[in-house]
Chains A and B, each alone.
Chain A
């Protein structure tokens, strides 16, 4: 085999070697994106946010909403549960798609003998889901009179539309 002239082959070899070295050095591995570690931490923090958890919460929310009283019949129910009470104040609002009502109830001519009826009414109110008693004032009349000076309840209730 006839070799190419040295004065061409040697510089060509040197150039090729230099080019190869440059090429190989420029072929360094690109770094993995630095957000990898941050993503891992986020993933660990969000490990519990599963569809099952959502499903459970949705079921719980749906059940809680289902337990709320319907708005149209609440006034009638309140009249029935608190027969001797007078609705002193009433206001309505909204909490999302639910209706928010606030009532101020005053017991009409409360005597000491009315106490069982008062507690029964309060028991009925307390058993109602979505109902919060914001304030309860019960005061006996002074000087041992057989009557209450004040029996008042302020409540807030969430109702299904």
Chain B
């Protein structure tokens, strides 16, 4: 299966590494727009739906070596925005190299293209059905290509393609420097820069690195330049093929980050749907709660009404009870007939035999006392017992106490009560 196609856009020099390893080169006139030419080249070379990677360094791209804190890319943008206002422009395209810690602290390289044709290129590629996996600066490709990718104590790189060159260096202490060259003096400038970069290393050191030279006329001079012997020579196609290892959406990817053509995060519609679902669920919950509250309010109102009715009923009944108590008291104060008293006197009159002479009858407050004398010579207790038995009948409305035991004398006293019957309340 062919790999991604790699497009190198370096000024007017356009190269396309096809999936099968074939590399095409296209030179665009200074006044011409490279985008249609690149799209035409892609149309002739790329298979349908073939992924494309872009190494991007047009003439409009500026590179700035800047000091910065070791932070995230979004934070870095906010920090750099203070110095590079163009970063805030809506059509600005920018990228930064991964931050390196050197002798003067952390630093990076800011690439800023204020009037970038990249959006049109990406739109054209997308329109042609070629998904773009990423757009990286040239230095990122250098640093991702062996042996630079594995060098621990710094490296040198020399890239000369046509009349354009890049000399970059990461010193032993981590300081990064890069220099873009263009024009007929490109080779001489590259040799000079290579010497300057080599001076960052200890004398006699042979730092590893890359050398990509695609100009037969100047390659001999470059190969004999100081420090160039230790560099790994690599064909341009091989060099470009390493672009397939660059991480999409990585730190230096132009299109992997906002503000420029940020890839639509796949979570966004999911989050939106989740938010919408939450809103709907919340509305449903609120509606149910409202219904519950209304139902509860109705039930409570009914309960309160019933309770008020019950309270009124109890108050009415309490008033009725008070009236009943009042009437009962009034009725109790009206005594009935004192008939039991007369009945007792009549019963006493009838039951007293001739052998007994009554001497005193006293009834006071319901207590009755009968005193008498037995005048029968036959015996002291027989007549009295008979009298007591006649009077002390269970159904009588009076009560007589038992006879005192051992009655021996003639005088006797009967005691009892009649109060309950005599003072009974009037009854119908």
Contact = CB atoms under 8 A, between A and B. Distances in A.
Interface of A: 3-6, 8-14, 16-17, 19-21, 23-24, 27, 29-30, 32-33, 35-36, 39-40, 42-43, 46-47, 49-51, 53-54, 57-58, 60-61, 63-65, 67-68, 95-96, 98, 115, 119, 122-123, 125-140, 142, 144, 158
Contact of A54 (B274, B285, B323, B345): B323
Contact of B328 (A4, A12, A36, A57): A57
B363 A135 contact: yes
A95 B333 contact: yes
Given A131-B335, A135-B365, A3 B276 contact: yes
B176 interface: no
Interface of B: 267-269, 271-279, 281-283, 285-286, 288-290, 292-293, 296, 299-300, 303-304, 307, 310-311, 313-314, 317-318, 320-321, 323-324, 327-328, 330-331, 333-339, 341-342, 345-346, 349, 357-365, 422-423, 426, 428
Contact of A140 (B283, B300, B327, B360): B360
A135 B361 contact: no
A97 B299 CA distance: 51
Contacts, number: 212
A54 B314 CA distance: 16
A40 B426 CA distance: 35
B335 A9 contact: no
Contact of B339 (A19, A115, A126): A126
A50 B288 contact: no
Given A42-B318, A54-B327, 4 more contacts: A8-B275, A126-B339, A129-B335, A132-B422
Given A3-B269, A61-B331, A140-B360, A127 B274 contact: no
B283 A138 contact: no
B290 to A, nearest CB: 8
A43 B313 contact: yes
B377 to A, nearest CB: 16
Contact of B307 (A32, A61, A123, A132): A32
A102 to B, nearest CB: 13
Name which of A40, A96, A139 has the most chain B CB atoms within 10 A of its CB.
A139
Name which of A33, A64, A67 has the most chain B CB atoms within 10 A of its CB.
A64
B320 A51 contact: yes
Contacts of B358: 140
Contact of B289 (A20, A40, A42): A20
A140 B373 CA distance: 11
Contacts of B339: 126-127
Nearest to A2: B272
Nearest to B314: A42
A58 B276 contact: no
A9 B269 CA distance: 10
A24 B342 contact: no
Given A60-B428, A131-B335, A140-B360, A3 B286 contact: no
Contact of B282 (A13, A54, A61, A130): A13
B346 A129 contact: no
Nearest to A119: B345
Contact of B359 (A20, A42, A139): A139
A20 B287 CA distance: 9
A122 B348 CA distance: 14
B285 A126 contact: no
Name which of A17, A32, A123, A129 has the most chain B CB atoms within 10 A of its CB.
A17
